Amino acid sequence: MRRRQFLAASLAASAMSVARGAAGQSAEAKGPREYYQIRKYSLFNGAQPKLTQSYLEEALVPALTKMGFGPVGVFSLDIGPETPTYYVVIPGSSVETLVTADLHLAEDGEFQKAAAPFWNAPASAPSFQRVEGSLLAAFEGWPKLTPPASSATKAKRIFQMRTYESPTYQDHVRKVEMFHKGEFAIFKAAGLTSVFYGDTLIGPRMPSLTYMLSMESLDELNTKWAAFSGNPEWKKLSADPRYSFEPTVSNITNLILSPLKSSQI
């Protein structure tokens, strides 16, 4: 127990330090920042997608909701590498609640019963290929996940999840700072609906950040991105010597996702 508490405290302290440094001279925080666990379920075609989808809908999302997490996003990868793949975004109020969630799931009899077909699948016919996870701290200027209005009515919507890798930690901090110095407002002006912004604390290919946008369709997403790129404020910000002195982003992972039935986002 003490080791878990120490890990949680250490990660929380690191998150606060990174977020403050990245925010630079941004406006004051809008409230306590959340943390995000992003799970990637890599699957094989065949029985795995249906089995995993049932597990997420009937076991994992209800159990996480009962534990106080939410809204939980559950998505299928439409455009991107390695399909079929499902992503789960879990927001939490603290690092400890996120890193100990699986321990509590293992003690939940109701969850174990619902999860049995997925959890107890034999090695000869596993329910998934691999599960990977990352832990993020919400940006100071966007401290909480904000579902689009269409989530409440389950209206048609798609999501774009983008990860920016930076060549150095200095470049990473400058890139996060750019969001706080104008990118949030430029996204809004272009009509792009922001869902969350997170700084990676634990995960692959660091330093990196991940954010999510939502639109009704891919055509609308492309149109709004064109409006973003042509915005004079974006041209001014991106040309600022503080951010244009060298490439602050070395690689971009761009995923197009559709919400599954169990998604609360």
Report the 10 Å Cβ neighbour count for 238.
15
For residues 126 and 129, what is the distance between their CA atoms, to the nearest angstrom?
7
Q: Is this prediction's pTM over 0.85? A: yes
Residue 264 located in a structural domain: no
Is residue 17's pLDDT more than 90? Answer: no
Which domain, by its residues, includes 201? 2-259
* Number of alpha carbons in the 13 Å side-chain half-sphere of residue 131: 11
> Is the model's pLDDT at 36 over the cut of 80?
yes
Flag whether pLDDT at 56 surpasses 90. Answer: yes
How far, in Å, are 8, 29, 37, 114, 221 from residue 132 at the CA level?
A: 19, 30, 10, 22, 27
CB atoms within 10 A of CB 219: 9
Cα(212)–Cα(189) distance, rounded to whole angstroms? 16
Lowest mean pLDDT across 12-21, 43-52, 176-185, 249-258: 12-21
List CB contacts of 161: < 8 A, sequence separation 6 or more. Answer: 75, 87, 210, 211, 212, 255, 257
Residue % of the chain over a pLDDT of 90: 88
What is residue 9's predicted lDDT score, i.e. its pLDDT?
42
Rounded CA gap, 5 and 168, in Å? 30
DSSP lists the bridge partners of residue 198 as: 138, 210
Domain count, the chain: 1
Residue 3's pLDDT band (cuts 50, 70, 90): very low
Q: What is the mean pLDDT of the chain?
A: 91
- The CATH number of the domain holding residue 246 is 3.30.70.100
Distance of CA 115 to the CA centre of its chain: 24
Judge whether 121 and 44 are in contact, CB under 8 Å: no
Judge whether 110 lies within some domain: yes
In a domain? residue 156: yes
Give the residues across from 180 on adjacent strands: none
Which amino acid is present at 220?
Answer: E
- Bridge partners, residue 88, by sequence: 39, 74
Two tokens, residue 253: 């992972």
Q: What is the pLDDT at residue 200?
A: 98
The pLDDT of residue 35? 98
Residue 4: its pLDDT value, please? 46
- Would you say 260 and 74 are in contact if contact means Cβ atoms under 8 Å apart? yes
User: In this structure, is residue 265 part of a structural domain?
Assistant: no
Task: Identify the band that residue 31 occupies on the pLDDT scale cut at 50, 70 and 90.
Answer: confident
Model confidence over 99-155: pLDDT tens digits?
A: 999 999 999 999 999 999 999 999 999 999 999 999 999 999 999 999 999 999 989
pLDDT number for residue 30: 62
